[in-house]
Amino acid sequence: MNDTSNNSPLTIDIDLDADGIHFGNLKVPQSTNSAGWAQYYIPIVVIKNGNGPTAFLSGGNHGDEYEGQVALMNLARSIDIENVRGRIILIPMLNKPAAIAGTRLSPIDGKNMNRAFPGSADDDITGQIAHYVAHNIIPLADLVVDIHSGGSSMHFLPSVNMHELADKEQMRSMLEAGQAAGAPYVFLYADVAGSGLLPSYAEGLGKITLGTEMGSKSQFGKETLATTRDCIHNLLVWVGILDEPSITLSNEPPVVVKGTDTRDYVMAPCSGILEPFVELGDTVTAGEVIAQIHNPEDISAAATEVRVETDGMIMCRRSNPLTSQGEVVVTLVREVQE
């Protein structure tokens, strides 16, 4: 049962309300084989200049997704505070144990940070971090941005992402922010792998909440980092914190796409070696074979076909050829007509 009180065992060594640029840590109590008394440090940065909106930006929710981690560290070291009107709270490596290990899940407790919200004060380390952020950071924010990429398993078209919400005014603001970011796509998505997401929790508090998918671990490089950096810049301009011009990423406006049918998330029917027949941005129709999976234990057997059940464009595809039954192969989207 999740603890909804604010009795977190975590401490913080900087003042969230003080003007200036402050580098500090969230400190999680630990007891290890090498130290009976210890703390695990999660870096946090607060950039504040007078009154104004607050933005909370997180990277490394999944440890093998490095675009947000690098972009937020660079932002913290390079921002001109004279151009800030309000407050920016950055946690570049929300799941720092996973970030250091290069894994999606925490190697300490095996948990997924993006399935842990709102966490619990007496949980393992992942749930304790989620609990502190849920009760002490997110409530302060007007804008919440959780930066993701495809990590070790998926290639993604660069996008700013959000859920489709019943609150029309909140949804209108989120779409406006998503388009202002300037990524090629604004992706309306569905949760098909459980609850406890940071964005879902923030949305439930009425926050303007965005995620991103910026490439993948194998696509990590100058282009995806520049897109991530520029989208962050534009969002801070949009919310009224950064008094600078926005950056034009493309001559074409962002395309709003939607993949909210569970059938849009095509899962592997069996385990084996995945051979894709499609690439990002390709258009497919229901019934089309988009991949096949080879059985490495019986190479004389015919490969198993993977078919789609809906029409759409390939928004992401699996990057790791070794695939287990039930893992996503592709995600399909369709353009939203205004």
Write out pLDDT tens, residues 271-288: 999 999 999 999 999 999
pTM for the model stands at 0.95
| Tens digit of each residue's pLDDT (9 = 90 or more) over 71-109 | 999 999 999 999 999 999 999 999 999 999 999 999 999
Residues 6+ apart with CB under 8 A from 245: 237
Architecture of domain 262-335: Beta Barrel (2.40)
State the span(s) of the chain assigned CATH 2.40.50.100.
262-335
State the span(s) of the chain assigned CATH 3.40.630.10.
11-258
26 pLDDT exceeds 70? yes
CATH number for the domain whose boundaries are 11-258? 3.40.630.10
C-alpha span between 321 and 42 (Å, rounded) = 33
Average pLDDT on 291-317 reads 98
| Tens digit of each residue's pLDDT (9 = 90 or more) over 180-229 | 999 999 999 998 878 999 999 999 999 999 999 998 887 889 999 999 99
Residues 6+ apart with CB under 8 A from 85: 49, 50, 51, 52, 53, 240, 241, 242, 243
Tell me, what's the pLDDT at 230? 98
Tell me, what's the pLDDT at 6? 77
